[in-house]
Structure 1
């Protein structure tokens, strides 16, 4: 009996020791972010709830060896042949690709969002054209299949209703979901396995589709000789097993593996000026496409990593910035365009810069100015709105509201 209780005491002691050790390591790991949050906090009573929320985020995001636990959990799920993680936040399709999804009974109502696009169009100068560019959802109709029991979020049906509303209002649209399976890119290679974004070759194909659409709207073709939209005129540098995307960072590489990444940039001569600003951070770069519009830091990180600064997709245009201004110095007399966009459109816009004079980009999540005011007061030939099906929510349309 004495030995029995001795074993219990030793087990309890070891358990408490592990908890204390882990707690100390977590305190060390999160001390800096917590200190920074507290230093910049507004201690007014009305802001207390927000401060507590920020501190909670700091602690959760800086758990000691966080991704070691993520990988261990994902490995256990894969051993059990499970197709979902974290209450269906991330799921696998029949091909093994990861998706964000949720339980839904039908498409989301989006008439108020399409009305905001119409309000934007009415606010523009009469010479400025407006086009909505619908990028595809990772759930590719006619190809993607979910295992039995995995919920479907109706993103494509929501996009269908949204585009129908725009067409009723007489707004020009480009639906890049159409022709996707006939693009010449194998269906399994259209999207990353571990990320919600399309692959860079798919974005390049979309650039060609957009140029074809614009050629039908303007007297002078953007690419009359089909030179800039020909992938043969670009360097394609493959990187093997280097990318873990946003979905993979939630599930771990042992749940779905990692991805290859293709860096695509022009072989031909280019000359750019690139400016971006988000919050207090701003910078200006000049030079060739690969010097001004690309950042090589994510590609220099060895192997796939969970570090957000190493997200390979944001090699292009330094990721999501509040506002960006790209000037193609080789085409001073080309179109001047504005994109109000989410992250999916970033590489497509990068390639579009080869055939226009200037591009402005605004990300509604990070731009603090008045978007409609900017669009109406800037010298523009064309305004594009490009928000993907999964982002058809209020956050991406902070303008034109009737409220």
Structure 2
């Protein structure tokens, strides 16, 4: 019995030594990023605490080895969920963000904000159009195992689009023709990410051009040159992409996606500008020089860094405000996207038939979006949020938005 208790003591001491040693090494590894994070000016006490907490969580020594190990254990156990059912795997192996819900979320406040946006635009010639990208849960295709949660995002989107019709705002629902797009259903979305694949985004761009021409007689791309995928280069990076959900579960649990970069073969000439608070960026040249960041495409086996997220190769990711000028389409329409990340590649492709494309993200833009609309010379305002983002955070058009 004495031997038994001695062994327990030795085990406890060794465990505490390992824990203490790890804490010391972890402190050293997080010192530089933590010091950089807390040196940001104008942080109040709550913001400073949040900054320290988030930095320590993101910079844990060997963080992704722990994630991979835990994910592999879940795979061995044939688990179809992680993070207390926040992440679920459907029967085709696709990962989804989810939560338990009894029905669709209320949309009355969102519809009201859209009405305020429309009625506050001084130039009544500007068309306000609500775009609805598809949720990763595709009706008639996606199936969850019994007991896994469903978030009713599609039903929320249905209610929102009905509200748009009631206030006289035109809608384009990309969900309607998704299953007859010609894209195999298992190629519509990334398995490890919540976004649609770049090929699906390109298809949505062609649908958007068709709908604009039909509804507003715009006459964009009359010979179908710019909307023909044959006139674009496609480079596929095999087993190279770990999306935002996969970075939380580990690649051993989720697997890796292929990533296909699409960009024009034809002559292009752009100027691109973006701003985030005080940081600005300007690029010029061909589509692939001005609108695509090759940094994430050349990071090799580095999968976990946000800088390695290949989806955000387009337009260098999300920004408070971005502006694309197409010098070869001076007579094309001028459009503004009030958007989430789904619209980034789609807007990039739409720029081939537009003279100017603006993108504003309510999560990061600290000014009044309605005032911005009234300052710009525009033909269209596209409000584009995919179904799970139909929340008040994204519809803060006339007040300071809440930022993650």
Q: Which category describes the TM-score, using the shorter chain as reference length?
A: over 0.9
* Structure 2 residue 39 is the aligned partner of structure 1 residue 39: yes
The 5 Å alignment of 1:174-253 reads 174-253=172-251
Counterparts in 2 of 1:71-86, with a 5 A limit? 71-86=68-83
Aligned-residue offset at 1:254: 1.0
Length-normalised TM-score, structure 2 = 0.96
1:1-400 aligned within 5 A: 3-40=3-40, 47-124=44-121, 125-303=123-301, 305-400=303-398
Distance 1:7 1:339, change over 3 A: same
Asked if structure 2 preserves the Cα contact closer than 8 Å seen for 1:241 and 1:304, the reply is: no
Report the TM-score when normalising by structure 1: 0.96
User: For the structure 1 residues 191 and 121, does the alpha-carbon distance in structure 2 shift closer, same or farther, using more than 3 Å as the test?
Assistant: same
Contact residue 338 and residue 384 of structure 2 kept, 8 A: yes
Kindly indicate whether the alpha-carbon contact (under 8 Å) linking 1:115 and 1:400 is maintained by their aligned counterparts in 2. Answer: no
Shift of 1:2: 5.8
Deviation at 1:39, TM superposition (A): 2.9
Alpha-carbon distance, 1:283 to partner: 1.3
CA contact (8 A) 2:38 2:51 kept: no
Using the TM superposition, give the Cα deviation of residue 325 of structure 1 relative to its aligned residue in structure 2, in angstroms. Answer: 0.6
1:3 CA drift (Å): 4.4
Aligned to 2:215, what secondary structure does the other structure show?
Answer: coil
CA–CA distance in structure 1, aligned partners of residues 82 and 218 of structure 2: 51
Question: Which whole-Å CA distance do the structure 2 matches of 1:279 and 1:343 have between them?
Answer: 18
Could you tell me which runs of 5 or more consecutive residues in structure 2 were left unpaired when the two chains were aligned: 400-404
Q: CA deviation at 1:249?
A: 0.6
The two structures, once aligned, show a CA RMSD in angstroms of 1.4
Q: Distance in 2 between matches of 1:40 and 1:215?
A: 48
Contact 2:271-2:324 at 8 Å conserved across structures? yes
Q: Quote how far apart the aligned CAs of 1:25 are.
A: 1.7
Partner SS for 1:236: strand
Contact preservation (8 Å) 2:338, 2:359: yes
Say if 1:158 and 1:309 are closer, same or farther in 2 by CA, change over 3 A: same
Structure 2: distance between partners of 1:264 and 1:349: 13
Q: In the aligned structure 2, how far is the partner of 1:339 from the partner of 1:18?
A: 52
Shift of residue 7 of structure 1? Answer: 2.9
Deviates more, 1:348-357 or 1:123-132: 123-132
Task: Give the conservation status (yes or no) of the 8 Å contact 1:242–1:304.
Answer: no
Q: Secondary structure at the match of 2:48?
A: helix
Q: Secondary structure at the residue paired with 2:101?
A: coil
Is the CA contact 1:244–1:304 (under 8 Å) kept in the aligned structure 2? no
Following superposition, the deviation at residue 217 of structure 1 comes to 3.1
